[in-house]
Amino acid sequence: MQITIDHLIKNYGRTRAVDDVSFSFSSGEIVGFVGPNGAGKSTTMRIIATLDEPTEGDVFLDNVSVVQEPEKAHRLIGYVPDALPAHRDISVHEYLDFFARAYGIAASARKKVVESIEEFTNLMGIREKHVNALSKGMKNRVSVARALVHDPAVLIMDEPAAGLDPRARIELRELLKVLSGQGKAILISSHILTELAEICTSAVIIERGRVLRSGNLSNILSADAPQRAVRIRTLDEVEPLYKHLLTLPNVEAVKLVDRGVQVEIMGGEEACWELLAHLVRNGQRVVEFHPLRVGLEEVFMNVTRGEVQ
């Protein structure tokens, strides 16, 4: 399934919360939706989930428009909000059973479906507990289970890791990998960028309602590195290498690390190749030449200004 966010605009009075947002992703992809608070992430996600109506633009799930046919879109989308809405006097099992009924799953199949979801999300042990009595992590699992109950093709997850302890975060990460492996298209927003970078295949960076970067994660990371770090180790003495590197034009900084050096050079992969070629031509016996990957956090800090609307 192809999910296309097509020139989305959302105004609240005179404030433009979402400003011409466009990107797309497809089945099996996990897309990290990143931006400072108030950037328009939740509004965009609520529009995709049909909870809000855009002022302009549309979202297409293959050829189903969420604006024109929200009822059809409901079947295709599973939405995980940042907090599970309050439900008094209802157990986890009853809650999931209710949503299975609400999605029209027939009685003959419902029991099996709910139980398999409970097993998949590791809720079997707490299925008789009241939803309101659960911890944040448990509620989060219930929320994911609820979103999966009708086996949607698309999962929209708004800050699912917020407030979770390390164990719950790891479990969520593993769950997302499994879901992605099952072919679900996942859009996930989070402020924990290091974790997002580990599981996402693509990313969208948004600020003040505008998309700043979007696309394949490795492309974003390489494109947004004006300078890159390379770790070099040779079989020769480190000191002469250190001094020699400092004389080279593209080299910004050099520091001694472990049994080698870490060099910061201006430019992309071309500059890396030139440096390696230069060292080899100079007779350096290079045994390790390892460009260090720039993290999502660095890219995020580079492209955003931390402005809110």
Partner 1 sequence: MNAAKLRDKMDDLLNPIVVKELRQVVRSRVIMAALILFLIVQLAILLFNLSVDERRGVDYTSLHAGRHIFTVFQGILLGTCMLLVPTYAGIRLSSEHSETNVDLLFISTLRPLHIIAGKMQASVVLMLLIFSACAPFMTFTYLMRGIDIPSIVLILALDFLVVLFGTQAAIFLGSIPANLGLRLFLGVSGLVALFFVFLGAMASSIGVLELGLGSRMDTSEFWLAVGGVAIVLVASIGQFFTWSVSIVSSPSANRAFPSRLYFLGFWLVTGVVAFVLTDRIHEIGLFLSWTFLVTLMLCLQVVVSINERQQWGMRVLRMVPRNRVLRPVAFLFYSGSAGGILFATGMIALTFALTYLALNGNEFSSLSISPYRLDMYRREIAAFGLIALYTLVYCLMAVWVRNVLFPKLVKTSHTWVVSLLLFGIGFSLPLMLVFMFQNEDWRMGQVDPWWYISNPVWTIYEITERGGSNADDFRVGSLVFLSAMTFLLLMANMPWIVRQVRRFRPPLTPLAETP
Residue with the two structure tokens 């400003």: 19
Size of the site for partner 1 (CB under 8 A): 40
Cβ closest to partner 1, residue 13 vs residue 166: 13
Cβ closest to partner 1, residue 73 vs residue 232: 73
- From 37, 71, 181, 237, residue interacting with partner 1 (rule: CB under 8 A): 71
Cβ closest to partner 1, residue 89 vs residue 258: 89
Using CB under 8 A as the binding rule, whether residue 74 contacts partner 1 is answered as yes
Residue with the two structure tokens 């139980």: 115
Q: Over the Cα atoms of the chain, what is R_g?
A: 24
Q: Least distance from C-beta 183 to partner 1, angstroms? A: 21
| Residue among 184, 212, 211, 47 at smallest CA distance from 201 | 184
106-125 positions binding partner 1, by CB under 8 A = 106-108
- From 98, 222, 278, 297, residue interacting with partner 1 (rule: CB under 8 A): 98
| Residue among 263, 208, 154 at smallest CA distance from 35 | 208
132-191 positions binding partner 1, by CB under 8 A = 146, 150
Residues 6+ apart with CB under 8 A from 91: 127, 128, 129, 130, 131
- How far are the Cα atoms of 247, 248, 262, 276 from residue 252, in angstroms, in the given order? 10, 9, 11, 16
Using CB under 8 A as the binding rule, whether residue 90 contacts partner 1 is answered as yes
Using CB under 8 A as the binding rule, whether residue 270 contacts partner 1 is answered as no
Residue-level length of the chain: 309
Q: Least distance from C-beta 246 to partner 1, angstroms? A: 52
Residue pair 206/40 in contact (Cβ under 8 Å)? The answer is yes
Cβ closest to partner 1, residue 45 vs residue 275: 45
Full strand arrangement of the beta sheet holding 286-292: 251-257, 260-266, 227-234, 286-292
Cβ closest to partner 1, residue 40 vs residue 78: 78
- From 16, 101, 177, 210, residue interacting with partner 1 (rule: CB under 8 A): 101
Stretch that binds partner 1, among 105-113, 194-202, 218-226, 263-271 (CB under 8 A): 105-113
Cβ closest to partner 1, residue 13 vs residue 181: 13
Cβ closest to partner 1, residue 81 vs residue 260: 81
Q: Least distance from C-beta 6 to partner 1, angstroms? A: 6
Stretch that binds partner 1, among 30-38, 62-70, 180-188, 226-234 (CB under 8 A): 62-70
C-alpha angle 18/74/7, rounded to 5°? 25
Using CB under 8 A as the binding rule, whether residue 14 contacts partner 1 is answered as yes
Cβ closest to partner 1, residue 68 vs residue 122: 68
- From 9, 16, 75, 297, residue interacting with partner 1 (rule: CB under 8 A): 75
β partners of residue 77: 154
The footprint of partner 1 (CB under 8 A) covers: 4, 6, 12-14, 49-53, 58, 60, 63, 65, 67-68, 70-71, 74-75, 77, 79, 81, 85-86, 88-90, 94, 98-99, 101-104, 106-108, 146, 150
